Each structure stands twice: as structure tokens, then as C-alpha cells.
């Protein structure tokens, strides 16, 4: 839909892979700076932003466990720590881009960053600060998609923007299926009935139950976060 609908408060979910350098190094300073500039411009335009970052550019717990020498909760702890590293990198880049940002971690590590608590997070958002939510949900066996939906519901966000490499939800995999069409709009029930992959199952179930709008869009192009939220870039909006 082409109608510009300004969102007042949004949670942006970034995959860890969004930070990775083309040569495979976990972090590209240039990509990070571009993303931070986009997020800063969106915040300056008046949208309150909370950000959840994954850790997939460093570690994914489930994948690590497949090697057989480490148990899942320990590997997931490492994954949560990876999200803290990404969060600190983004906080630094956001502050350099001129917007006040603070990292709050679901896993308590007071000498490194503040521990997440809902009331202070709401207060920072009201003040226009960007809140970077680290450590996922703080529990093993979950993903940062679930953390994103959980925090969005808790912090009364009007939408979760799942920023990926694809510009929306398609009827089939657009890479292998040239006839695949991108949906502009779906309900949660339609996405489930058509077996469309919006985010992981646990996360999407929570979004549906919370009646939370999920926007899927690509952060491949410059300034995409701002463009997607202002209706100037393609996306799929999943809403009740």
C-alpha cells in the first residue's frame, strides 16, 4: 500500500548478518556506519526506535551444537553474548551518527551495559533515545526474532520491522521461482494458512497473539529503514 503511515514507535530487528563484511569478517565498519546513519535519520524524523540485533554473523547456537561437543544452552549463551557485541558496536555507531543510544541487555553484565528493564526502556524511548536491546530474550532455545516481538509488545511498539535481505514476503522463494509475487499486505492468519515464512514460528505466534504489525523489508539499499517506515520502499505489512 502506498499510503504513508507514520509510526510513532517501532522496534527494528536486524540480523547479525546485516553487519558482516563482504570478505566474511564479522563486522564491516562501513556497513555499520551506513546503517547507523539510516537509523539516526529515522529517529531524528520523529520515530521512537528500539533495536534488536541478532548474532548470526558470529554464532548461532543451534548450528554450533550440531558439531556435538557443546550443549545447546552453553552454545546459546555464546550466541546471546554475540548479540551484545553487535549491540555495543551499533550503540557506538549511533552515538557517532549524532543520536543518543543506549544498550540494555537481557543478560545482566553491569560493568558493560545496563540491564534491560521495561520502565527505564520506556523512559528512554519517550526521551527520543534509541534503545539497543542486547542478549535476546536472555533464555536459551529462543531467537532474536522472538526477542524482537516480545520487546515490541512490552514496549508498546506499533510495529516490528524485520529488516532482511529480501524486500518482503513472497508467494514462493523468489530466487528459485521467477513467478513468485511479493505480498503488500497479509493478515497473520493468511501468512500461517499459506505457510509463508515471515519469521520463526515461535516469534510469529507471539506476534499474532499480540496483534502486532510485522513489516518485512530489505536493508540492502541505503536509507532503507527510513524509506520502508515512510512507505517509500517495498515491504510486506502483516497486520490483523
Question: Annotated binding site: which residue ranges?
Answer: 13-16, 55-56, 60, 76, 137-144, 164-165, 170, 173
**230 neighbors 217 (Cβ within 8 angstroms):** no
User: In the complex with ligand UDP, which residue's Cβ is closer, 31 or 41?
Assistant: 31
Number of H-type helices and E-type strands within the chain? 8, 9
C-alpha cell at 219: 536493508
What does the alpha-carbon distance between residue 78 and residue 202 come to, in Å, rounded to a whole number?
21
Candidate list 12, 32, 49, 80; residue touching ligand UDP; CB under 6 A: 80
CA-CA-CA-CA torsion for 234, 218, 213, 100, nearest 10 degrees? -120
Annotated binding site for UMP: 55, 76, 137-144
Q: Is 76 one of the binding residues for ligand UDP (CB under 6 A)?
A: yes
CB of 81 to ligand UDP, least distance (A): 8
Closest by CA to 215, choosing from 193, 230, 205, is 230
Query: Please, which of residues 5-24 interact with ligand UDP by CB under 6 A?
Result: 15-17
Cα-to-chain-centroid distance, residue 236: 15
- The C-alpha angle with vertex 51 and arms to 48 and 54, in degrees rounded to 5, equals 170
Contacting ligand UDP within 118-147 (CB under 6 A): 136-137, 139-140, 142-144, 146-147
User: How many residues of this chain bind ligand UDP (CB under 6 A)?
Assistant: 24
Q: Is the dihedral of CA 114, 82, 24, 226 positive or negative?
A: negative
Shorter beta-carbon distance to ligand UDP: residue 80 or 186: 80
Q: Which of 47, 56, 152, 237 binds ligand UDP (CB under 6 A)?
A: 56
Does residue 79 interact with ligand UDP by CB under 6 A?
yes
CB closest to ligand UDP, residue no: 54
Q: Closest Cα to residue 18, out of 8, 7, 28?
A: 28
CB 163 within 8 A of CB 219: yes
Nearest distance from C-beta of residue 2 to ligand UDP, angstroms: 29
Smallest distance, ligand UDP to C-beta of residue 164, A? 9
C-alpha cell at 140: 536459551
For residue 120, the minimal CB distance to ligand UDP (Å) is: 20
**Span from 48-56, 123-131, 186-194, 209-217 in contact with ligand UDP (CB under 6 A):** 48-56
Please tell me the distance from the alpha carbon of residue 50 to that of residue 48, in angstroms, as a whole number.
Answer: 7
Interacting residues toward ligand UDP by CB under 6 A? 15-17, 54-56, 60-62, 75-76, 79-80, 82-83, 136-137, 139-140, 142-144, 146-147
Amino acid at each position: 500500500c502506498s499510503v504513508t503511515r507514520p509510526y510513532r514507535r517501532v522496534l527494528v530487528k536486524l540480523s547479525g548478518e546485516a553487519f558482516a563484511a563482504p570478505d566474511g569478517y564479522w563486522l564491516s565498519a562501513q556497513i555499520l556506519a551506513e546503517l547507523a546513519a539510516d537509523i539516526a535519520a529515522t529517529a531524528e524524523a520523529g520515530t521512537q526506535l528500539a533495536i534488536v540485533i541478532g548474532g548470526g554473523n558470529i554464532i548461532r547456537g543451534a548450528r554450533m551444537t550440531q558439531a556435538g561437543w557443546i550443549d545447546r544452552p552453553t552454545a546459546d549463551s555464546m550466541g546471546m553474548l554475540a548479540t551484545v557485541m553487535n549491540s555495543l558496536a551499533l550503540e557506538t555507531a549511533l552515538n557517532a551518527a549524532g543520536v543518543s543510544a543506549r544498550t540494555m541487555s537481557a543478560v545482566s553484565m553491569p560493568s558493560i551495559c545496563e540491564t534491560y528493564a521495561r520502565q527505564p526502556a520506556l523512559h528512554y524511548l519517550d526521551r527520543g533515545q534509541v534503545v539497543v536491546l542486547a542478549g535476546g530474550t536472555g533464555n536459551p532455545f529462543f531467537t532474536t526474532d522472538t526477542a524482537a516481538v516480545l520487546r515490541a509488545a512490552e514496549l508498546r511498539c506499533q510495529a516490528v520491522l524485520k529488516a532482511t535481505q529480501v524486500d518482503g514476503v513472497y508467494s514462493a522463494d523468489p530466487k528459485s521461482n521467477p513467478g513468485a509475487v511479493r505480498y503488500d499486505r497479509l493478515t497473520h492468519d493468511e501468512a500461517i494458512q499459506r505457510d509463508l515464512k515471515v519469521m520463526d514460528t515461535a516469534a510469529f505466534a507471539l506476534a499474532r497473539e499480540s496483534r502486532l504489525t510485522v513489516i518485512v523489508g530489505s536493508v540492502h539499499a541505503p536509507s532503507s529503514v527510513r524509506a520502508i517506515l515512510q512507505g517509500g520502499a517495498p515491504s510486506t505489512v502483516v497486520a490483523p
